[in-house]
Amino acid sequence: MADLPTPASLGFRMPAEWAPHRGTWLSWPHKHASWPGKFEPVPGIFARMVRELARHEEVHINVAGPDMEENVRALLQRERADLARVVFHANPTNDAWCRDHGPIFVHREAEGRREQAIVDWDYNAWGGKYPPYDLDDVIPTRIGRELGLPVFHPGIVMEGGAIDVNGQGTLLTTEACLLNPNRNPDLTRAQIEARLRAYLGVRHILWLGDGIAGDDTDGHVDDLARFVDPTTVVTVVERDPRDENYEPLQENLQRLRSMTDQDGRPLRVEQLPMPPALHHEGQRLPASYANFYIANGIVLLPGYDPERDAQARATLEHLLPDRRVVVIDCIDLVWGLGAFHCVTQQWPAA
């Protein structure tokens, strides 16, 4: 790593999610095994997402080829999405979790203009849980080639849902995921931190502990806590002491309250409720209001329960007052063990 230029050494950094977008990337769902017995409603949920996003920014969709594109176009037309702002890309995928296999965009200011590059982490489907994943692993490089952008290869396993940044130099992640031996067993915490600094342009790394029950990613931070401005983190908290999420979320809350940003300023920590425990076929699902997605002018918030949906929506409306918070029912989507943040990847404005 030391012998080759890295994004940070060249002045690149990862912007915050709320920074202006050119668009949002999605990989269209097609793997029935990700939603066993419940795949049928999933494309319709994606179509509603596209309709809402396309009101505010471009939507770029990875599809297997012309037949899938034709089917998706027809579904989007029925949903009355603005197809003029939808761009299809012939990039076949294994699955739909674009947050984790999609491109991480970094940018820098050079000679009065903004330049972009892509970081392409190695991808192994959350520790080799769901092979095959060879098509997903090459998505960032395929997109970089199509867009004519430089692509950097850190050479370690990482997923987009495992990290969150404030755009000013601070990154939030979890020990449960990044230190899991099914990712990078030969790397120490210090070595992982060095790669994050070198490839994302961050300088201050904050570690939370365990993830929520039912999360097959081994504790992605996007189900736990998210930056909503450079010094504010919103985190989910379980109110029922009998729930298995209660203690790990309390521990993460206490950690956040002791943390600072890259300049030593204490974080402002706000709380989101957890949805009621959601099960399907005896399995606890990783339903979390932290899995929202911030786009231009809009926040997509997963819905699970009318009363708590309203509480979560009010909190995000207060914290992100320049955006409309749209709740879309995700009870069917989360059977695939993810929600809106898991299936989206932002493309910052150039």
Catalogue the active-site residues.
342
DSSP label of 16? P
Exposure string over 234-269, b if 16+ CB within 10 A, otherwise e: bbbbbeeeeeebeebbeebbebbeebebbeeeebeb
H or E segment to which residue 51 belongs: helix 42-54
- Nearest in space to 219 (alpha carbons), one of 233, 236, 205: 236
Assigned token pair, 240:
């029922």
Q: Which residues contact 307 (CB under 8 A, 6 or more apart)?
A: none
Cα 198 from chain centroid (whole Å): 20
Instruction: Give residue for tokens 């009870």.
Output: 331
What is the number of helices (H) and of strands (E) in the chain? 11, 18
Q: Which of 309, 326, 243 is nearest to 279 (CA)?
A: 243
Structure tokens given for 263: 């300049």
CB-count exposure of residue 271 (10 Å: 0-12, 13-18, 19+): middle
Between CA 94 and CA 119 the distance in angstroms is 20
Phi, psi angles (nearest 5°) of residue 88: -100, 145
